[in-house]
């Protein structure tokens, strides 16, 4: 089971993802009451599956997120690249100098996660 523990800030949500000894960081939008495209996703347990997204490439996509569709763990570094999804990286940095934390080495980190996570499973977000 993938587990994400999150910390909410006014401009973003940072998390620590853990799976079988593997750890990385997550970046989401701030908590704005589960408003589609502008908020992090709600706390809960979700099923995920691997797929190739036309816009985001290889992703882990979550099923049955309340009031949401196409919620993915995908590559990206900045909150400006998020529309309600979760970005994955190996560190938290200030890359684009906008005062909002970013995640680094996203594509390589996502590739490692997908290899470990397999084609389907469960994710716990708290």
Structure tokens at 119: 């084609």
With bands split at pLDDT 50, 70 and 90, how would you rate the model's confidence at 121? very high
Mean pLDDT in residue range 35-60: 96
Number of other CB atoms surrounding residue 74 within 10 Å: 22
Based on the structure, what is the number of domains in the chain? 1
Number of other CB atoms surrounding residue 34 within 10 Å: 15
Is residue 53's pLDDT more than 90?
Answer: yes
pLDDT digits (tens, 9 = 90+) for 76-87: 999 999 999 999
pLDDT digits (tens, 9 = 90+) for 87-120: 999 999 999 989 999 999 999 999 999 999 999 9
**pLDDT at residue 111, as a whole number:** 97
**Structural domain that includes position 85:** 2-125
- By the 10 Å C-beta count (0-12 exposed, 13-18 middle, 19+ buried), 1 is classed as exposed
Cα separation of 113 and 65, whole Å?
A: 21
CB 72 within 8 A of CB 90: no
Number of other CB atoms surrounding residue 71 within 10 Å: 21
**pLDDT at residue 97, as a whole number:** 86
CB 121 within 8 A of CB 110: no
- By the 10 Å C-beta count (0-12 exposed, 13-18 middle, 19+ buried), 104 is classed as middle
CA distances from 55 to 22, 51, 63, 67, 75 (A): 26, 11, 18, 21, 11
Cα separation of 29 and 15, whole Å?
A: 11
**pLDDT at residue 33, as a whole number:** 94
Average pLDDT value over all residues in the chain: 96
């Amino acid at each position: 089971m993938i587990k994400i523990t999150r910390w909410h800030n006014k401009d973003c949500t940072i998390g620590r993802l853990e799976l079988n000894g593997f750890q990385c960081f997550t970046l989401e939008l701030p908590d704005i009451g589960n408003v589609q495209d502008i908020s992090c996703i709600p706390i809960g347990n979700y099923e995920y599956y691997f797929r190739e997204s036309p816009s985001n490439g290889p992703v882990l996509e979550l099923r049955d997120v309340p009031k949401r569709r196409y919620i993915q763990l995908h590559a990206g570094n900045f909150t400006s690249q998020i529309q309600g999804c979760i970005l994955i990286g190996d560190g938290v940095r200030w890359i684009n100098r906008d005062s909002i934390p970013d995640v680094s080495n996203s594509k390589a980190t996502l590739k490692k996660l997908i290899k470990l996570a397999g084609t389907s499973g469960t994710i716990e977000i708290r």
